[in-house]
Chain A
C-alpha cells in the first residue's frame, strides 16, 4: 500500500486560494449547489473556468492545455466540487476523454479535440454500457464494419449521460467477431459525433425526474478512419488502462458534501444538539481522512507511480461515504423532504436521497471495484 500523508506546497495553496476567489466571484451567494460532477450543466461556467486555465490542466500547452500536475488538478477539482460548482458540461471530457486522446490519439486527433476540450467548449459522453453489457463491458455488441475510408457502426448504448447536450462520445465496439476464450480482443474505441446521421438519442427519465440518461441508437453510422481512437483491436486495453487509476479523484467522495455544509449553515446560531454535533463531527472527520487518501493517490501519480489498488480503495470507500452522509443527515435532521420545496438544505437532501444510489454504480460498481481491489491486496 503506498498511501502517504502529503501537504500542499505554497504554490498549490495559492492555486487553491485563486480558485476560491474565482468561485466567490462567479457563483451567486444564493446559488443552488450541484451535487457532484454530474449535478449541473452550464457551458458558460465551463468556458469561464477554462479561461482561467482550470480545464484541460492535464493537457500540455502545445494542445491548448496547461500541463499541470495531478495534485494541481486535485486542488481545483476539490474546490469546485465542495462549492457545488456547475461542472457537468466539461467534466467527463476533461477527466476522461482528454487524457485518453493524449495517450492513444493520433497527432491529428489531439490537434482537433484537445484545444476545444481545454477551452471548455467540446463536451464528450461515454459510450460504453449497453442493454446487455454493464459490468461485463467486454461483452458489448455494438459492431463496426469496415467500409471504404472508415467504419459503419450499429448498436445501442444506454445510460449515456448528457448525450443529448454533448458533442461526441467515445464508443466501445467490436471491430472483429468475438473469439472463444479471447473476449477482450477485437474491441475498439471510435469517436462518434452525436449529431451524425444514424444517431438517435432518446431520453431515459432519471429517478429524480430529470433528463440525465439517454439511450443512443446507432444505425449504420459512418465513422471515418481518422476518428478511430488509438489502435483498432486495442479498445479493451485503452478503457482499462492505467488512466483508470486517475479516476479516483475528489469527484468520488465529495458529491454530497454541499448537503452537509447547508445542514451546518441551517443550524448556525442555534444550539447544536449533542447527536447532531456527533453526526457533523463524524462526517467531517471521515471526509478529512478520505481526502488524505485521495490526495496521496494524486501525489503518487505525479511521482510516476501506478497506485491502482489505492485508487480502487478510494473510490470504494469514497462513494460509500457519499451515500452514508445522506443517511446520517436525514437521520439527524428528522425532516420530511420533498423535491423543490423547503429550505436549501431540505431541497439538497431530497435530491441526494433520490440520486445517491448511483454513486456506487457509475464508473464501475462497488462489487466490481472490490474484486479488483481484493485481487491486488492478495
Chain B
C-alpha cells in the first residue's frame, strides 16, 4: 500500500472506531443509515477518494478507494461509501458533471431496469425505473446511464423528484427502487458519456467495490472468531484448542487472506481503471471466501453467532448480500471462464501468472 493509502486508512479507521461501533451499527439498522458517520466521512473528503481534485474530488486512485472500502467493510459502515467515489463520482467527473453535496448513488443497470432519456439541451426529460439502488432514497442524486439517439449519456438524476419503494438487503442496508415519471432535467444534470464510461465499466467498479468491502469484513470475522474461540471455554479449555475448531479458524484465515490479496492486486493493477480479469477473479474469489468463511465462523461461534446484535451477525449478513451484488462469484467465474476458454490453452498460464503488474 502506498504511504498515502496507509495514512488514509488509518484516519478512516480511527474515525470509524469512534463513530461506527457495533452498537452504532445496531442503531443504524432502524434507518439503514448513520448521519453522524456520513457527516464525519464527508467532512474528511472520504466519499470522493479516487475522484480527481481538479473536479472537486479528493484525489487518490482506485487502490486508495479500495483500501478505504476495506475499512468500511470491517466496520460494517452503514453509508454509501462504495457508491460515491468509485462509481457515481467517477462517472460524473468523467462526464464533466458536478459532484453533488450529500450522498450519491448509482444504478448500474439490472435486468428489468428502464432508463429513457429524451429531448436535448434545455428540454431533457427522464422516465426511469431502477431497482435495488444502494441508499437510493438517502442520496441526493443517482447516476444513471442512458442512450439518446444512439449516444450514451451520464444522468445525475435528482432523487427529490423520484418515487421511492424502499427496500433492504439482508443486512438492512437500503436497496431502494426509484422511479422518475417523465421528469424534466436541468442541463447541468446530463452530459455525453466519454469513451469507457459504460455499463460494463460500472459493473467492474461495482464488483471491485463489493470485493473490497468483503475483504475488510472478512478480516474482522477472522479476528472475532479467533478471539471468541480463545475465550469461550467448554470442557475446561478454550474451544480453540479443539482440532475441529482449529480447522474452522484456519479456513477463515485462508479465505480472508485470499480475499485481501485478490482485492489488493486487482485494485493496484487499476491504472487508472480496473481490468476485466482482475475484477472477475477478485469477485469470484471474494464471493467464495465470503460464503466459506461465514459458514466456518458461524459454526465455530455456536449459538451466540445466531443473535442479531452480536458483531458476527452484522458482518455475515453483509457478506451474504455483498457477495451477490454486482454479480455473484458464479456469474463472474462463468464470464471469466468463457474469456479464458476463448483465448485458448496457451494463454491460460501466462494470464494466471500475471499478478501484480509493476507500475
Q: Interface residues, chain A, CB within 8 Å of chain B?
A: 129, 132-136, 139, 158-159, 204-209, 213, 323, 327, 330-331, 334-339, 341, 350, 353-354, 357-358, 360-362, 365-367, 370-371
Is A136 within 8 A of B299, CB to CB? no
Give the docked Cα–Cα distance between A209 and B309 (Å): 9
Chain A hits for B34, CB < 8 A? none
Chain A hits for B305, CB < 8 A? 207, 357
Give the docked Cα–Cα distance between A371 and B303 (Å): 19
Mind listing 28 A-B residue pairs with CB under 8 Å? A132-B233, A134-B302, A135-B234, A139-B234, A204-B307, A205-B308, A206-B307, A207-B316, A207-B317, A208-B308, A213-B306, A331-B330, A334-B324, A334-B328, A336-B324, A337-B170, A337-B324, A338-B169, A353-B170, A354-B170, A354-B320, A357-B295, A357-B306, A361-B298, A365-B299, A365-B302, A367-B242, A367-B299
Give the docked Cα–Cα distance between A139 and B236 (Å): 9
Is B317 within 8 A of A354, CB to CB? yes
Is B234 within 8 A of A158, CB to CB? no
Q: Of residues B168, B233, B306, B328, which shows the largest number of chain A Cβ atoms within 10 Å of its Cβ?
A: B306
Chain B hits for A209, CB < 8 A? 308
Chain B hits for A207, CB < 8 A? 305-308, 313, 316-317
Chain A hits for B317, CB < 8 A? 207, 354
State whether the Cβ of B175 lies closer than 8 Å to any Cβ in chain A: yes
Chain A hits for B234, CB < 8 A? 133-136, 139
Chain B hits for A335, CB < 8 A? 324
For window 232-260 of chain B, which residues contact chain A by CB distance below 8 Å? 233-236, 239, 242, 244-245
Quick one: which of A330, A339, A357 contacts B299, CB cutoff 8 A? A357
10 shortest A-B CB distances, which residue pairs? A357-B298, A205-B308, A367-B244, A136-B234, A336-B324, A159-B303, A136-B235, A331-B330, A207-B306, A135-B234
Is A334 within 8 A of B307, CB to CB? no
Quick one: which of A134, A323, A336, A366 contacts B321, CB cutoff 8 A? A336
Chain B hits for A213, CB < 8 A? 303, 306-307
For window 288-344 of chain B, which residues contact chain A by CB distance below 8 Å? 291, 294-295, 298-299, 302-303, 305-309, 313, 316-317, 320-321, 324-325, 328, 330-331
In the complex, what's the smallest C-beta–C-beta distance from B2 to chain A, in angstroms?
34
Chain B hits for A337, CB < 8 A? 170, 324
Q: Of residues A133, A204, A357, which shows the largest number of chain B Cβ atoms within 10 Å of its Cβ?
A: A357
Other contacts beyond A158-B303, A353-B320, A361-B303: 13, CB < 8 A: A129-B303, A133-B234, A135-B302, A139-B234, A207-B316, A336-B175, A339-B170, A354-B317, A361-B298, A362-B303, A367-B245, A367-B299, A371-B244
Which A residue's beta carbon lies closest to that of B175?
A: A338
State whether the Cβ of B132 lies closer than 8 Å to any Cβ in chain A: yes
In the complex, what's the smallest C-beta–C-beta distance from B291 to chain A, in angstroms?
6
Give the docked Cα–Cα distance between A208 and B299 (Å): 17
Is B308 within 8 A of A206, CB to CB? yes
Which A residue's beta carbon lies closest to that of B310?
A: A207
In the complex, what's the smallest C-beta–C-beta distance from B329 to chain A, in angstroms?
8
Give the docked Cα–Cα distance between A208 and B239 (Å): 26
State whether the Cβ of B184 lies closer than 8 Å to any Cβ in chain A: no
Chain A hits for B132, CB < 8 A? 336
In the complex, what's the smallest C-beta–C-beta distance from A318 to chain B, in angstroms?
16
State whether the Cβ of B167 lies closer than 8 Å to any Cβ in chain A: yes
Is B167 within 8 A of A338, CB to CB? yes
Give the docked Cα–Cα distance between A338 and B294 (Å): 18
Chain B hits for A338, CB < 8 A? 167-170, 175, 321
Give the docked Cα–Cα distance between A362 and B307 (Å): 14
Chain A hits for B313, CB < 8 A? 207
Is A361 within 8 A of B306, CB to CB? yes
Is B303 within 8 A of A341, CB to CB? no
Chain B hits for A135, CB < 8 A? 234-235, 239, 302
Chain B hits for A357, CB < 8 A? 294-295, 298-299, 305-306, 316
Quick one: which of B298, B303, B328 contacts A134, CB cutoff 8 A? B303
Give the docked Cα–Cα distance between A207 and B299 (Å): 14
Chain A hits for B309, CB < 8 A? 205
Give the docked Cα–Cα distance between A341 and B308 (Å): 20
Give the docked Cα–Cα distance between A276 and B244 (Å): 33
Is B306 within 8 A of A327, CB to CB? no
Chain B hits for A134, CB < 8 A? 234, 302-303
Chain A hits for B298, CB < 8 A? 357, 361
Give the docked Cα–Cα distance between A206 and B309 (Å): 8
Quick one: which of B294, B295, B330 contacts A334, CB cutoff 8 A? B330
For window 138-192 of chain B, which residues contact chain A by CB distance below 8 Å? 167-170, 175
Is B169 within 8 A of A336, CB to CB? yes
